[in-house]
Structure 1
Amino acid sequence: MTFLLLSILSSTIIFVVFKYFKKYEVNTLQAIIFNYFIACTIGFFGYIESSEDILRIPSEKWFPGALILGFLFITVFNLAAITTQRSGLSVVSVATKMSLAIPVFCGIFIYNESFGFLKAIGICLALLAVYLSSIKTREGLKIKKENLIFPLLVFFGSGIIDTSLNYLENFYVSAVDVGLFSSTIFAVAGSIGICILSAQAFFGRLKISRKNLLGGLALGIPNYFSIYFLVMALRTEGFENSVIFTLNHVGIVVASTLTGIVLFKEILLKKNWLGLALAIISIILVAGSQ
């Protein structure tokens, strides 16, 4: 459970960093791209013993999967940015967090994990908790029909990322390669990001500032460890992957909500408090189902 708690902590720090992005007007796209290179650097220098480890990456069975995940990382981010602009931050939050349903149900129906009464109730409460905790207006979510495709793509994209991580971790990534695997994903995402920045530079729309670089540094460290610790948590003996994903997503909701109250003096609506209470209950039920 230590790795799971560390993954939740890392993801909560990401939430805090994004809050400060808004305060200091950091260019999110640039910071995200720089963050990928910071994240892959941590993995390459922290977990690689020799240059031979890097040279063998293309021959690893997990390499094609890492390429796909790197592409998905930055694609889903851009879709999330479009969704935020068109439908608001709450819609993105709900789409991203509700995506836990995809790896959870894949774990149950594809990997034949258990699905008892406690677990079923816990997962349902977790999904409801995620929804209620993410709504920041009394009116609820408002999405124009023509914009509905974007949160749907964020939902499926986020779910596919988690499911793919689970699949590759189960069948292709050895325990000693977790750091190398995680770093490769970030390196691919960063490389695609550089192509985007190069296009912006070509059209004269690129302006890099020091605060964007610092933002990427602040984001890259917890971002790397959120993935690394999640993959390690999925290897925890005695806990099914559907349980780990549920506890991870709901744990992030609880930790982020409490952090918002303490650090940023956020005021919660009644539905947010209800969501927080349901999140805690769902954690108890899902963990207890094991």
Structure 2
Amino acid sequence: MTNAHMPLTSEEVAGRPSSPSDVTAGLMRGTELAAEVVAKAADRAQAFQQRTGVQPCLATVLVGDDPASATYVKMKQNRSKKAGIGSVSVVLPAETTTDELVAQLEKLSDDPAVHGILLQHPVPGHIDERAAFEAIDPGKDVDGVTMHAFAAMAFDEPGFRSCTPGGIIRLLEAYDVPLAGAHAVVIGRSPILGKPVGMLLLASNATVTYTHSKTRDLADIVRTADIVVAAVGRANFVKGSWLKPGAVVIDAGYNEGNVGDVDFEEARQVASLITPVPGGVGPMTIALLLEQTVDAAERQNETVQQAEADLT
């Protein structure tokens, strides 16, 4: 699927908006699109291995024993395996220091057998997370968490995208949501979600307003948005009454009980399109991670080949 609407069920088609007073949002499902992205990445991984004899490899680094983080890492490793991407797992104790974590990430960065590195976040509170992220070689930052990746997104230059923001843009494109000239309101300003998704929307010629916990009259600002990206980390935070009729709503939150940042039932009565939780943004995050791991393997191989050619 490329720049085409995902197929809707008959119930969803019947519920698409006919007027602002009679709106039931269609669902922007990420599951099907993510499956297509992963399938293409798997084909490329297989072709790369056949061509070079090397399997693309993703290294995952987990600090501590948080059950949710461990589950996420295991899921990413399983998805990697199914896509023909090798996986290296590094599990460090919760008492790991910043210096020890940085040393481990630098070691992986220097390992030619590793093409992509994922540091599962958040890390324990005593660790300087930014210092850890910056220890990742930008060429292996397939999760798009370094300052180099953010700069690439901000300046619309080649580089790895933060996976969730990149997945959001792909989802909007797949559903033919017009971005040029649209007013997008981002609720949240984290360096790996809120800030980069705003940069990517800006690069697509949207007009972007960042909002956050200290924003005054937040509901009034959200009500002006054609596109709302909720990434605040608070369950059911965005209410249906906050939305402009026909707005497109991207719920990038995931809270306890499989609940997003948007009050789904309320919002669905006002929006034209909305991502469900789960099954919306989440699958796209992993899909982009795997796709960018294959990208990294190909780029690193090209660099090695060029270096060898320069020596001859």
Q: What TM-score do the two structures reach when normalised by structure 2?
A: 0.25
Which protein, 1 or 2, shows the higher relative CO under an 8 Å CA cutoff with sep ≥ 6? 1
Greater C-alpha radius of gyration? 2
Higher helix share: 1
Higher strand share: 2
